Structure formats: structure tokens, C-alpha cells
Amino acid sequence: MNRVGFFQSIRLKIIIVLILFLLLAIQVVGAYFVNKLEDNLNKNFESNFEERVQILVTNLEEVLTKDRTGDEDGPTLQDEVKDIINRYSADIFTDLQVVDTQLRVIGADGRLERIGKRVTGDSNISVALQFDQQEEELFRNQYNNDRTLRRTVPIVDSETGNPVGVLQVDASIEEIYTLLENVTQIFLNATMLAIVVSIVLGFLVARSITKPITEMRKQAMIMARGDFSKKVNVYGADEIGQLAITFNNMNDRLKLANQTTEEERRKLSSVLSNMSDGVIATDENGAITLINGPASNMIGIAPEEAKGQMIVEVLQMEDKVIDVKELEETGSLTIDFSTDEELFLVKANFSIVQDEEETFTGLITVISDVTEQEKVERERREFVSNVSHELRTPLTTMKSYIEALNEGAWEDKELAPHFLNVTQNETDRMIRLVNDLLQLSKMDHKDKTMNKEQTDLVPLVHHILDRFDMNKTELIDIERKVPDEKIEVWIDTDKITQVIDNIMSNAIKYSPEGGKITFQLIRERKRIKISIQDQGLGIAREKVDKIFERFYRVDKARSRELGGTGLGLAISKEIIEAHHGHIWANSKEGQGTTIYFTLPLMNLKRGGRR
């Protein structure tokens, strides 16, 4: 998460808001104060100005209407006007002049050179004399550029009502505006000082507000990384304090929820990792979002590589499925991943994932290896076919000979014994086949009860080989490589005898006349190894491992001639494995075959039984 800069923080916003509120308050107060001050100053100035003007007008009226007939020794009009001006003129007047009806200046304050001169070009004085009207104007003084108020007032005879003169006064009002400017400057300075103080106070206030919020933000970032060990400080019982308490409670609940989720995730991960079936999850578009190890191993693709790919492509279902939603109706499919060298079948079961509105949001696919099941099913079908074939051949032969006997061949003293002998041989062959099948059936159903006992293997081996030496009819030599020592094993002697009989019988059957069979017993560290080698035709390399399968014959025609059922080595394999041993073969075409099997020694076996 990016760090919040000062110019983007709520702290600056609080400071700006405080400054704006303060500026607004100062501006409103200042504008109101200055406006009222200006009104009051103007009213006071006008009141004082008007009062002084009226005093002057009253006194000048008395002087201008005075009868001066016979009073030649008294003061002149100019002297009396001057005396009034000197007596009643105020400091607020910057200029004053008195004009008679002849537009001649008879008195002035200041520029005395104007006395006795006529006033020309001043329309205000003419209007005042002619129409008895006061005139007022505001202008800039040409000498000092001050704002000046000029009042032109007619002096009227109170008895006749006719104008007898004009009083014109000027007063500077610049002081009022100067005072207003000074007050405005004071307010401006106060505003600047208030802004500085508000910035400091705003920073402190904003810090007190934003500090817990900043701590909660930092804690939220820590929580986003999965760390719920820390808590924010509670600075008070106000709304922010209540928010901090609520935040800490949320932290505790999230910690508990995260622990529960993590525990469930670990359980799910453990289940997915350790289950034998493969699991693939997709999104609503069919893209893989999760795949466990067994599924990855089955389809031969790494989990990182599989994520994001379409499931129909990974499972090679493009020819069966166009849209992933079709798998909802399909339910399950058997997918063939077989190669030329190996059979590999996978069964995929599909189940959809829906949200609360029953909208398709994904797919869960469980895949399992059904190769062994298919192999078992094929072996079952092949087994039934082989048994049927093996039984049909002797039955057909017996039927043919019995029909011949019924048709009169029994009376032929040469054919009848031969037919009966063939029938008996085929019957014996079927009996052997049935007995072998019953034995395999017991082993398949775990009915492997072994009468094991402590046995010295060397005398047992010699006893079996002696029997073959006495009963063999072919010119075949049996070479023994058996150590002259005591080798004790924990075995079922009848079963092991059957194993050696089966292997020796096959070796004798497939060995040419004059050949040699080598029987060798070797004592190894924890086991004994027995090998039986013949000098027969041998077996092709690709067929060696198949000789232990049921009904498998390398040379089927010759095997039937020799009376074999194709089950001897399969039974031998079951017996050896029941003794915790191992059996295998090595062979080359034209160089004979060697069958090996191992048995654990007595001390190892007994230790295992304990």
C-alpha cells in the first residue's frame, strides 16, 4: 500500500478547513465592523460639519443684513465677516469663503488675496444665489490630492427670504479613509496572525484526531499481511476511541477467523495432497485454478503449468466436450491416456459449483486411475475365454472318441483301447485344469492358509530332485549345485515342493534330448536364491515377464501336446509371494531359460513373525 503524502492526508484537510472557517469569521466580522465604523465616522463628521456651517450661516446672516447707514465709524463688513470666520471657523475646514450678491469675496479663511475679487466659473455659487439651493460635491483637492467635501450654502435674509450672500466651505475627509485603511490593515495583520495560530492549532488538533486513525491504518496494513498480534491504542472514550475499540475487536475476530480458515485450508491441503484420487478445480470458464499432486502426476503436468489452462485441453476432451458447462450433464468420463507401450485409463467425475443464485461458478473434477480395474476386467474376460478354450478342446476330443465308440468302434480290439486311453488322458487333463483353477481361486480369495514349519531346505531339495531323476524318461541330465550345509527356512513344504515340481516339469518338457538342467541353491545374506536353468528354445525378451500370467504359453501348440494347462507358473508365483519371496525369469531365444525364486531365511522370517 502506498504511503499517504502530507498534501493528500486528512491532517492537511483539517488544517485547511480550520483556516477557511477562521478566515470566513474574520472576514465577516471585519467587513461588518469596518462598514459600521465608516457609517459612524461619516455621521459624526457630517453632524459636526453641519453644526459649524449653521453657526457660520446664522452669524453671517446677521452681519450681512445689518443696516450700516450713519455708522461710518464702526467696523466694516469685511472686518465683521473676518471676525466671525476667525471665531467660528473649525479645524475641520480646509477652505472657507463668503461671497456677497455681487459675487465678490467679502471674507475668506486662508488665502486672503481672494478678498474683494469676484468669483467666476463656480456654478454652485451662482445657483445658490439665484435659486436659494445648497450644493454639495466630493472631489480630490488639487493641492494635496485629499478627498474633500465642498458645501455651498446660501445666506438668506430671514425677513425678506432673499439671498444676501453665499458661504462656501471645504472639509477634508481623508482622515476618515485613512482611519478605515488603518483598521483594515489591523484586521489584515490580525488575520495573518490568526492564520499562523490556526495552522499551529490545526496541526495539533488534526494530529490528535488523525494519530489514532493513522495507527489504525498502519494496523490495517499489518493485518493485510496476516499479522494479527498487534492492537491500536485507545486514547479516549469519544467516537474515535470507540472506533479503536471496535477495530481491536475486529482484529480479534479476524485473527480467530484467519486461524480457522488456515486450519481448514491446511486440512484441505493435507486431504488433497494425501488422497489417492486427483482433484482439479476450475473457474466458470473452465480454466484450472487448483490441481493437487496426484492429479498432476496422473496427467503428467506440473501444477504451475496447469493453472490457467483449460480443463478440456488438459484432459484431452476436445473431441467429446465443446463447452465446460456440458460436463454438468456428462457426470463422468473415462479418458484414455494410453501409449503404444503402456495402457493408462483415467476416470473423471465432474460436479459443478454454484453460488447462492445457483449460477455456474466453477467445476470440481475428481480423477482416478482405473487402469488396473480395466486390466482386471480384461484379464477376467481373457481368463473366461482361456478356460472355455481349454475345456472345449478336451471335451471336443472326448465327444468325438465316445461317438466313435458308440457307433461300434468299441468292438474293434485295436481302436477301442486307444480311444479309451485318449479319453482318459483328456479327462486327467481337465481334472488337472480344474484343480489348478480351484487352487488359484482360493489364493485370489485370500484363502492362503499355509502349514509352515521349520524346515532344512537342503534335504527337501535333494528329495525332490531324486524323484525327478528316478521318473524322467528323456535323456536329460540334472546337475545339482546345492551347498552341503544346513539351511533352515520357515515354509510350507508341500507348497514349495509344488513350486519346484512345476518349474522342473517345465524345464524337462522344453529341454531337448541330451540337454542339461542346472539346479542351483545359493545362500545370500538374508535369503536363499534357487535357480533352475534349462537348455530349451528360450523365450523372447518381451515375453519373459508374461510367462507368470495365467494361461500364457510361449508355444501353445507344443504346450497342449505336453499336457500343460498354462497355470503352473502362475500358481508358483502366488505361492512364492505368500512366503514373502520373489520369482522371476531370464531367457534368450535359442539359449534356454532360467527361473529364479527367493525365500527368506529362518532368522529373518521368525523375526518378522514376532
Average pLDDT over residues 152-177: 86
**Separation of alpha carbons 564 and 556, rounded Å:** 9
289 vs 566, higher pLDDT: 289
Which of 8-17, 19-28, 227-236, 248-257 is predicted with the least confidence, judged by mean pLDDT? Answer: 8-17
- b/e code 428-454 from CB counts within 10 Å (16+ = b): ebbeebeebbebbeebeeeeeeeebee
pLDDT digits (tens, 9 = 90+) for 317-372: 777 776 676 666 666 777 787 777 777 888 888 888 887 777 878 888 888 888 77
Tell me which range, 56-65, 390-399, 401-410, 592-601, is most confidently predicted by mean pLDDT.
592-601
CATH 3.30.450.20 fits 12-67+74-179, yes or no: yes
**Mean pLDDT score, 180-204:** 84
Q: What is the DSSP string of 8-69?
A: GSHHHHHHHHHHHHHHHHHHHHHHHHHHHHHHHHHHHHHHHHHHHHHHHHHHHHHHHT---T
Confidence of residue 9 (pLDDT cuts 50, 70, 90): low
> Tell me, what's the pLDDT at 444?
61
Q: Do domains 275-369 and 375-443 have the same CATH topology?
A: no
The fraction of the chain above a pLDDT of 90, given in percent, is 8
Return d(Cα 20, Cα 354) in angstroms, integer. 55
> Which among 238-242, 265-269, 585-589 has the top mean pLDDT?
585-589
CATH code of the domain made up of 449-609:
3.30.565.10
**Domain coordinates in residue numbering, the chain:** 12-67+74-179, 275-369, 375-443, 449-609
317/321 Cα distance (integer angstroms):
6
Residue 387 — very low, low, confident or very high, per pLDDT cuts 50/70/90? low
Question: In angstroms, what is the C-alpha Rg of the chain?
Answer: 65
Read off the pTM: 0.41
- Most confident option among 143-157, 217-231, 362-376: 143-157
pLDDT of residue 481: 93
Q: Out of 78-87, 176-185, 398-407, 546-555, which region has the weakest mean confidence (pLDDT)?
A: 546-555
Angle between the N-to-C axes of helices 493-510 and 457-471, in degrees from 0 to 180, rounded to the nearest 10: 40
In tens, the pLDDT along 290-321 reads: 888 888 888 888 888 888 888 878 887 777 77
Q: Between the CA atoms of 186, 188, 194 and 199, what dihedral angle is there, to the nearest 10 degrees?
A: -160
Helices (H), 225-238: none
56, 88 Cβ separation under 8 angstroms: yes
- Which CATH number among 3.40.50.300, 2.40.30.170, 3.30.450.20, 3.30.1950.10 corresponds to the domain 275-369? 3.30.450.20
pLDDT of the residue at 560? 45
Among residues 543, 552, 483, 476, which one has the least CA distance to residue 511? 476
Rounded to an integer, what distance in angstroms lies between the CA atom of residue 169 and that of residue 93? 7
CATH number of 375-443: 1.10.287.130
Q: Smallest Cα–Cα separation from 299: which of 287, 286, 311?
A: 311
Which of 402-416, 473-487, 521-535 is predicted with the least confidence, judged by mean pLDDT?
A: 402-416
Cell of residue 529, nine digits: 536364491
Question: Burial level of 477, CB count in 10 A (0-12/13-18/19+)?
Answer: middle
Query: pLDDT by residue (tens digit) across 534-573?
Result: 988 888 877 787 788 776 666 544 444 444 556 778 888 8
What pLDDT score was predicted for residue 81? 82
How sure is the predictor about 5, in pLDDT bands with cuts at 50, 70 and 90?
A: low
Average model confidence (pLDDT) across the chain: 80
* Burial status of residue 325 (CB atoms within 10 A of its CB: 0-12, 13-18, 19 or more): middle
What pLDDT score does 600 carry? 92
Q: Which residues pair with 346 in a beta bridge?
A: 335, 369
